[in-house]
C-alpha cells in the first residue's frame, strides 16, 4: 500500500483527489476513508483535509476509528474532544491528539458535522510517534530552569494582594499565579512531526517586574529551554478607578507600557472572554474610537468608561457564576463597549440611549440635565443580555416576543445590579433597585419600574391596564415588557393581590437565585 500511496502524493499535495486504493498488503483494512477525498501535508503522509461524499460520511463517534485503521496509528495514541461550537454550518468538534496520555501541542483535528455525520475534517495529527514519555527532571527542577531563563526581579504569585484578588475573582480558594508545569509534547517552532517531538513541562509564568507573561517549555529529559512564547501584548493587571455610579471599583486593565494602561483585558486569566472598552469621544465612528488610557492602573480614568468596563465584567461574572455561561454565546464572545457615542450624529433623536447591535454595546451620554451617561449597572446588564438572548433564542424584536426580549434584559440587568451591589442577598431588596436605570436619571425614578410597572403606564397584567396593542415602539416592546417584569419581581420578593383581569394571586418569595434560574431556562 505504501508504494502505491506515494504515487498519489504529487497529485494530492495541492488539490483534492479521490483516493481509491485496493487492499494489497493484507494490512490494510476496509474503511470509509477509501471513499473520501484526502489532501496531504508536505510530507505526503498525514492528511490535512478529508472530505466525504454524501452517502459515505462517518459518524463523529467512529471517525477516528476509521482514521486509525486507514493510517494504522498505534494504540498509544488517543484523540480527545475539547471543544464543540455550533453555527449555521452545523457543529464543529475540535479534538487534540494525546500520546500515552500526554497532549501534543498543535496536533488537532476538527470534525465538521451536519445531520449527525462528518462531511469534512481538517487539522494535523502526528503519525508514527514512538518515544518514552517518562520525565527525567522533576517539575520543581524544571520550574527553576524556566525561572532562571526568564530572570525577572519578581513574579505575580509573590505579591499577596495579587493572589488574594485572583482567589476572589475566581471564587476559588486554590487559585494562584504560581506556575503549574503541564507535561506536553511539542515540536517547538519546528514542523509538527514525530521526529521533532520533545517531552516538555509547560509553565505559564507571569512576571511582575519587569512585567511580562510567557509560556516556557522546558525539556523534561534535559532541562533545556525548548520554547518561550511571549504574551507581552496581553499583560493584564489588577486596576481600579472611580466609576460614575458605584464609587471606586476594581477591574482588570491592560498594561501597554510601563506608564500606560487601557481599559482592556485580553489574557483570559480571570475571565474566559476578552473585555474591551473604547472612547468614541462624542463622535459617530467606531473606527475612530480610541482607548481609554491612564498613566496608572489605578487611574485617573474616564468615569463613564470605568462604569461600562466594570459593568461588562460584572455582567460576565453574573452569567458565569450564576448560570455557568461563558459570555454572551457561552463560548467566550468578546465584550466590546463604545462609550461617549454621539447618537444624534448617528441618527437618534437624542443621546439618551444605549444599544446592543449584535456585536457590541454603544452608550450615549444622556442630556446632561435629566439623564446622565447610560452606563449604570442595570443598563449595561440590560444591553449585554440582549446579546445572550440573541445567541440563545429567536425572540423577534416586535410585539409580544419583543416584549419578552426586552423583559429578559430588564430582568437580568437588574439581577446583575443586585448580584454586584447586594452580594449574597436573595430578597428584601430596596424598592428603588427594582427600577430600571434609576442611577442615570436626575430624579432617581429611572425609566421603568418592575415592582410597579403601572407607574410608567406599563401593564403588570397580560392584556390588563396599559396593555399596548399599537404598532409604535416595535409593537410596545418597552411597554408590554412590564408583564413579565412584574412576574419576576413577584417570584423574587413574593406578593399577593388581584390582577387586572380579576385573578387573585398569592406568590411566595423564591429569592433571586431561584427566580433567575427559572427565567434563564424559560
Q: Where are the alpha helices (DSSP H) in 72-159?
A: 139-150
Cβ closest to Ca ion, residue 139 vs residue 500: 500
The whole-angstrom distance between residue 19's C-alpha and the CA centroid of its chain comes to 40
One residue of 217, 365, 378, 493 binding Ca ion per CB under 5 A: 378
Distances (CA, A) of 20 to 32, 34, 73, 116, 125: 11, 6, 20, 25, 22
Which is nearer to Ca ion, 302 or 417 (by Cβ)? 417
Catalytic residue status for 383: yes
Which backbone phi and psi does 407 adopt, to 5 degrees? -65, -40
Contact at 8 Å (CB) between 90 and 35? no
Give the residue nearest to Zn ion (CB).
409
**Residue closer to Zn ion (CB basis): 409 or 449:** 409
Task: For residue 266, state whether it binds Ca ion (rule: CB under 5 A).
Answer: yes
Place of cell 427566580: 515
Size of interface with Zn ion, in residues (CB under 5 A): 1
Angle between helices 512-521 and 303-323 (to 10 degrees): 80
Q: Which does 78 bind (CB under 5 to 8 A by kind): Zn ion, Ca ion, none?
A: none
Our finding on whether 254 is near Ca ion (CB under 5 A) is no
Question: Can you list the positions of beta strands (E) in 174-308?
Answer: 182-186, 198-209, 212-219, 225-230, 236-242, 248-257, 260-262, 264-265, 275-279, 290-291, 293-294
C-alpha cell at 261: 494602561
Check residue 389 for interaction with Zn ion (CB under 5 A): no
Q: For this structure, is 478 an active site residue?
A: yes
Q: Which does 493 bind (CB under 5 to 8 A by kind): Ca ion, Zn ion, none?
A: none
Choose, by CB under 5 A, the member of 138, 268, 350, 457 that binds Ca ion. 268
d(CA 441, CA 389): 26
**How many CB atoms are located within 10 Å of the residue 225 CB?**
17
Residue given cell 510601563 in the structure block = 258
Is residue 201 within 8 Å of residue 218, measured between CB atoms? yes
Residue 463-502 contact track with Ca ion, rule CB under 5 A, x = bound: -------------------------------------x--
> Residue 460's binding partner, choosing from Ca ion, Zn ion, none, with beta-carbon cut-off 5 to 8 A by kind?
Ca ion
Quick check: 409 binds Zn ion (CB under 5 A)?
yes
Closer residue to Ca ion (CB): 247 or 349: 247
Cell of 451: 415592582
- Picking from 187, 226, 200, 225, the residue whose alpha carbon sits closest to that of residue 43 is 187
Out of 108, 113, 236, 383, pick the active-site residue: 383
Give rounded-to-5 percent helix, strand, coil for the chain.
30, 30, 40
Site for Zn ion in 432-471 (CB under 5 A): none
Q: Select the binding partner of residue 187 from Zn ion, Ca ion, none (C-beta < 5 to 8 A, by kind).
A: none
Cα–Cα distance, 292 to 241 (Å, whole number): 12
**Phi, psi of 218, deg, nearest 5:** -110, 125
Task: Give the interface size with Ca ion as a residue count (CB under 5 A).
Answer: 8
CB of 453 to Zn ion, least distance (A): 15
Grid cell in block for residue 273: 472572554
Class of residue 331 by CB neighbours under 10 A (exposed 0-12, middle 13-18, buried 19+): middle
Q: Are 47 and 39 in contact (CB under 8 A)?
A: yes
The CB-of-198 to Ca ion minimum distance in angstroms stands at 27
Point out the catalytic residue in the list 95, 340, 478, 493: 478
Cα 473 to Cα 183, 346, 355, 477, distances in angstroms: 58, 19, 15, 6
Closest approach of Ca ion to the CB of residue 486, in Å: 8
- Minimal distance, residue 322 CB to Ca ion, in Å: 17
Q: Does 458 bind Ca ion (CB under 5 A)?
A: no
Nearest-approach distance from CB 310 to Zn ion, in angstroms? 20
The correct pick among 66, 236, 274, 410 for binding Ca ion (CB under 5 A) is 274
Nearer to Ca ion, 302 or 410 (CB): 410
Q: How far is the CB of 477 from Zn ion (least distance, A)?
A: 8
409 binds, among Zn ion, Ca ion, none (CB under 5 to 8 A by kind): Zn ion
Which of 66, 313, 406, 460 forms a contact with Ca ion (CB under 5 A)? Answer: 460
Residue 296 CB, nearest approach to Ca ion (Å): 23
Contact positions vs Zn ion (CB under 5 A): 409
Annotated active-site positions, please?
383, 478
Binding site for Ca ion (CB under 5 A): 266, 268, 274, 378, 414, 433, 460, 500
Amino acid at each position: 500500500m505504501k508504494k502505491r500511496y506515494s504515487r498519489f502524493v504529487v497529485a494530492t499535495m495541492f488539490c483534492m483527489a479521490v483516493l481509491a486504493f485496493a487492499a494489497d498488503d493484507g494490512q490494510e483494512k476496509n474503511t470509509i476513508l477509501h471513499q473520501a477525498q484526502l489532501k496531504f501535508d508536505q510530507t505526503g503522509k498525514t492528511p490535512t483535509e478529508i472530505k466525504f461524499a454524501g452517502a459515505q460520511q462517518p459518524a463523529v463517534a467512529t471517525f477516528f476509528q476509521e482514521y486509525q485503521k486507514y493510517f494504522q496509528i498505534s494504540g498509544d495514541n488517543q484523540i480527545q474532544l475539547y471543544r464543540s461550537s455550533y453555527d449555521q454550518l452545523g457543529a464543529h468538534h475540535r479534538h487534540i491528539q494525546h500520546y500515552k496520555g500526554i497532549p501534543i501541542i498543535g496536533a488537532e483535528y476538527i470534525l465538521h458535522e451536519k445531520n449527525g455525520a462528518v462531511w469534512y475534517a481538517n487539522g494535523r495529527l502526528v503519525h508514527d510517534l514512538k518515544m518514552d514519555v517518562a520525565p527525567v527532571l522533576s517539575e520543581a527542577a524544571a520550574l527553576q530552569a524556566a525561572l532562571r531563563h526568564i530572570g525577572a526581579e519578581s513574579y505575580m504569585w509573590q505579591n499577596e494582594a495579587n493572589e488574594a484578588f485572583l482567589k476572589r475573582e475566581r471564587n476559588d480558594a486554590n487559585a494562584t499565579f504560581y506556575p503549574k508545569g503541564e507535561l506536553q509534547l511539542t515540536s517547538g517552532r519546528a514542523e509538527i512531526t514525530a521526529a521533532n517531538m520533545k517531552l516538555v513541562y509547560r509553565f505559564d509564568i507571569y512576571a511582575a517586574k519587569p512585567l511580562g507573561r510567557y509560556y516556557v517549555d522546558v525539556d523534561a529529559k534535559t532541562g533545556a529551554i525548548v520554547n518561550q512564547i511571549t504574551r507581552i501584548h496581553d499583560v493584564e493587571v489588577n486596576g481600579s478607578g472611580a466609576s460614575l455610579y458605584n464609587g471606586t471599583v476594581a477591574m482588570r486593565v491592560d498594561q501597554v507600557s510601563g506608564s500606560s494602561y487601557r481599559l482592556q483585558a485580553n489574557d483570559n486569566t480571570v475571565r474566559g472572554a476578552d473585555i474591551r472598552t473604547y472612547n468614541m469621544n462624542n463622535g459617530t465612528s467606531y473606527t475612530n474610537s480610541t482607548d481609554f488610557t491612564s498613566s496608572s492602573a489605578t487611574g485617573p480614568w474616564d468615569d463613564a468608561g470605568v462604569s461600562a468596563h466594570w459593568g461588562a465584567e460584572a455582567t460576565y461574572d453574573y452569567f458565569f457564576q450564576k448560570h455557568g455561561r461563558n459570555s454572551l454565546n457561552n463560548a467566550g464572545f468578546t465584550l466590546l463597549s463604545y462609550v461617549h457615542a454621539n447618537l444624534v450624529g448617528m441618527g437618534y433623536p437624542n443621546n439618551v440611549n444605549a444599544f446592543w447591535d449584535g456585536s457590541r454595546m454603544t452608550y450615549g451620554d444622556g442630556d446632561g440635565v435629566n439623564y446622565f451617561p447610560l452606563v449604570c449597572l442595570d443598563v449595561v446588564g440590560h444591553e449585554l443580555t440582549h446579546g445572550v438572548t440573541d445567541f440563545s433564542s429567536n425572540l423577534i424584536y416586535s410585539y409580544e416576543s419583543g416584549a419578552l426580549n426586552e423583559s429578559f434584559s430588564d430582568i437580568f440587568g437588574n439581577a446583575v445590579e443586585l448580584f454586584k451591589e447586594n452580594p449574597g442577598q436573595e430578597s428584601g431588596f430596596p424598592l428603588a433597585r427594582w427600577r430600571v436605570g434609576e442611577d442615570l436619571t436626575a430624579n432617581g425614578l429611572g425609566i421603568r419600574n418592575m415592582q410597579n410597572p403601572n407607574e410608567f403606564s406599563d401593564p403588570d397584567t397580560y392584556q390588563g391596564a396599559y396593555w399596548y396593542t399599537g404598532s409604535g415602539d416595535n409593537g410596545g416592546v418597552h411597554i408590554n415588557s412590564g408583564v413579565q417584569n412584574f412576574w419576576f419581581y413577584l417570584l423574587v420578593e413574593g406578593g399577593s393581590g388581584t390582577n387586572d383581569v380579576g385573578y387573585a394571586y398569592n406568590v411566595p418569595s423564591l429569592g433571586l437565585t431561584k427566580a433567575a434560574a427559572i427565567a434563564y431556562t424559560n
